[in-house]
A and B are shown apart, each in its own frame.
Chain A
Amino acid sequence: MKRVLKAAVAAIGLVAFSGGAMAADWTPPGPIKLMIAFAAGGGADTQARLIAEDIETKLGWKFIPEQVTGKGGMNLAMALKDQPNDGTVIGMVVTETLGYNMLAANAGVTPEDFTAISTTAGFQMGIVSQSSKGWADFNDVIKAAKSGQDIRFGVMSPKLADIAYLLGKAQGVDFNIVSGKGGKAVMNGVMAGDMDLGFMAGIQAKGVAAGDLVNLASALSTPLKQTPDAPLMSDFGVEFNADGYFALIGPKGMPTEVRDAIAAAVIDAITGEGNKSAAMITKAFGEPATISGDALQSLVQADYDAAGRLMKAASE
């Protein structure tokens, strides 16, 4: 009996050791194709490329970045779906891709068809206007709208358009909701006066610090770091929020050790002192966000489920 126990312990030890060794020692069998759902040169694209660069420097893995843009990340999702799940193909999207966009696209896929690997950064999504408008917070916008002023509300995705519509509906006003391609377009629209206010996911930080722009409200479930006093959307009777992250995903059924090895490499890159990606993320998005593995999988699933409720509310 003792011998059996010893053997069992040894076996368990061996298994545990080899498993541990696999997670730490997993190296990609070849170069990793990194699909990027964002236009080349933007903040999101730069972030993805810098993460790849940092991992290449540290671990010697090889990445081939490739742009697969369009349809709010759905083009990437559809292209990624049938790729090998051995860690040689991954994609950088936003959690909204697997949430609202995937549900709206109705393309026969759900978050379960993908392996969530890790987030890299969160959005500091605010509702922003030029300070020259004279609005202190979103209450002033409602007042202006009620006094008969036409308000153009810039959004960069259908989900945000729904939220903007619900904000107006809850407050009894009608916004003219203008959709732009990406945060940069909304920011340019607001700066040029083509839009009165709009959602911005962190790009506004410099302008707010300089006093050109104002965070009128937080579009997150929590207050904005930069403007903690700005009201939340729940203050205006809207139960939905625009919480979101940049996230790396893989095809369905990626082995756990592969997923965890990639996640560990990514988190190491974005939190490592002196790393390019860490510096860039801190500068552009405030701080890295490191939700990974099962926690991220359930987060995107929850987003997907919430998207259904949001669509229903917005279509009523």
Chain B
Amino acid sequence: MTAFDYIMAGILAVFQGPVAFSFLGLPISVTVVMVLAGFVLGIMVGATPGLAGPMAMAISLPILISIFGFSSDALLPVLGFLIGVMKGATVGGAVPAILFNTPGTPDAYMTTLDGYPMAQAGQARKALKVAHFSSAAGDTFSDIVLIVCAPFLALLVERYLDLPEKTALLILSLAFIAAIIGGSVGKGIIAMGLGLLVAFIGTGEDFYPRLSFGTQTLAQGFSVTAVILGVLILGEVFKAFEDMWHNHRRAQPAKETPQQGDQRLHAADLKRIAPHVARSAVIGTVIGALPGIGSTLAATLGYSVGARTHARRHPDRKPFGQGAPEGIAATEAANSSVSGANLIPVLSLGIPGNAAAVFLILAAESIGGFNPGPAVFRFSTDTVNPELVMAFGIFTAMMLGNLFNWTLGGLFMRAAGVMVRVPKHMLLPVVLLMTLTAIYVQDPRMQAIWFTIGFGVLGYGMRRLGISPLPFVIAFILGGKLEETARQAFAATGADPWFLFNRPVAAILILAAIGFVAVSLRKPSETQQ
């Protein structure tokens, strides 16, 4: 098969998969329906303050798996749904930010700065349109970069990196993530260390179960779902319960202002915001491609760079922060363009960079048959590499998501305004119950529930102490791979204990890892994201 055949096979896998129903005699595949369903759910979830895309992904994953099973037919519908949620949540977050001054997702905070003043001035629908256009444009750009870059990066890695270098690359990624995410390097490293520790329980090459205290319960290790959903979702829910306990008098969302005037987005408006969209899309994509730096930083950076340029070039126009459409554009394009680029390290190296990517990896791992990593992009000509077909299927699903975003996104955004009225004290218990149900659906043992709650408490404690749980989760996911690669590198070099240091590329990567941590340690912690 040629590269072109693979691309075609991937596209066909999406559109000619199992049929959900026929529309005007045209068979509509399940994957298409799932991308759309995920996208709509994502917008709703993104528009709900207190919920976020990863939460919806986490809860729906086990339910989807129980519906679709573990066959290779299940991969595209399930991943398509999750990608839809990811995309929907990105645009949805802007809705309450603009309408009610309440960001639906943390990365939409900057959107409130210009979005809400616009809404107060009676221009809410226009503001939503600006947000939609910028978000869809940033997202699409980012996806194109992903589709172009991921295969080449994977091929480079496969061709030039041997086992010791791959080990060093994993160490570098972990060091980078620990140093960048969260308030301090120390806390990041603690979280990462705990994640590795948990990953090493019950695993390993030896037949004797490691770190299990002789119990059969621990000998199998922790299920990935229990750990990730516990720390990321239950931890968040527990923390939110506490916050609600503290803030008895909840701030009511602001009233909607009556809307007036021209709400249309004219060509002149597009021309005004286009440079901001383009600049922020590049910023977001670059940031997204580095594992661990989230969309919030991208939004902040896109906004502040945009604000400076705007003030310098157009002192006559409304400045950022007072209801400038350019401000919304700069923020939304930046935070939306993170999501596609974030999958570059996931698909080409198997290294997740944010919570959404963690759930995509979790999905691939639970269903099986698709192992994100450089081996995916092996363009074998004589035999079919099904994983490569799958990768192009995922790209197709992403572009399909973008298509839905461009065509229907605006419509759903306007409808999503109601979500801000969902009361948190009812929403969170529902999330808690659904998470536990989802866990039980996938792993029908009470142990799994106890483990999840235990990790939820850990996640809560980490949040309480200001430790970001993300390095924990990423280290947990990469722990097994790190150990395996390190063991292989050690064996392959003929048991050379210095394999990380006596090869130039590996040594450079290790030095970079040490350097990142050292430099981050010297920076005062306030300046970090």
On A, residues with C-beta under 8 Å from B are 39-42, 45-46, 49, 64, 66, 68-72, 74-75, 78-79, 101, 104-107, 150, 152, 158, 174, 176-181, 184-185, 188-189, 191-195, 206-207, 210-212
Contacts and interface: CB of A to CB of B under 8 A. Distances in A.
Contacts of A176: 491-495
A36 to B, nearest CB: 10
B120 interface: no
Contacts of A158: 205, 207
Contacts of B247: none
A308 B492 CA distance: 27
A75 B220 contact: yes
Nearest to A150: B494
Interface string B186-224: 000000000000000011010111000000100111000
Contacts of A189: 488
13 contacts: A41-B367, A41-B369, A49-B69, A68-B220, A105-B207, A106-B207, A107-B207, A152-B492, A176-B495, A191-B378, A192-B375, A194-B163, A206-B383
A42 B368 contact: yes
Nearest to B495: A176
Per CB-CB distance, the 6 closest pairs between chain A and chain B, nearest first, are: A41-B368, A210-B382, A105-B207, A41-B369, A40-B368, A188-B375
B207 A72 contact: yes
A179 B202 contact: no
A211 B367 contact: no
Q: Chain B contact residues (Cβ within 8 angstroms of A): what range?
A: 35 or more
Given A70-B220, A79-B216, A181-B484, A191 B368 contact: no
A184 B67 CA distance: 27
A218 to B, nearest CB: 21
B155 to A, nearest CB: 11
Secondary structure class of chain B's binding surface, majority of residues = loop
A221 to B, nearest CB: 24
A180 B375 contact: no
B72 interface: yes
A39 B368 contact: yes
A78 B202 CA distance: 13
A276 B71 CA distance: 13
Contacts of B209: 71, 75
Contact of A45 (B205, B368, B374, B378): B368
Contacts of A41: 70-72, 367-370
B205 A179 contact: yes
B70 A40 contact: yes
B70 A195 contact: no
| Most B CB within 10 A of own CB, among A68, A104, A150, A192 | A192
B463 interface: no
Contacts of B369: 41-42
A191 B388 CA distance: 15
Interface in B370-425: 370-371, 374-375, 378, 380, 382-383
B162 interface: yes
A178 B375 contact: no
A46 B74 CA distance: 13
A184 B374 CA distance: 14
Contact of B491 (A71, A177, A210): A177
A70 to B, nearest CB: 6
Contacts of B71: 41, 46, 49
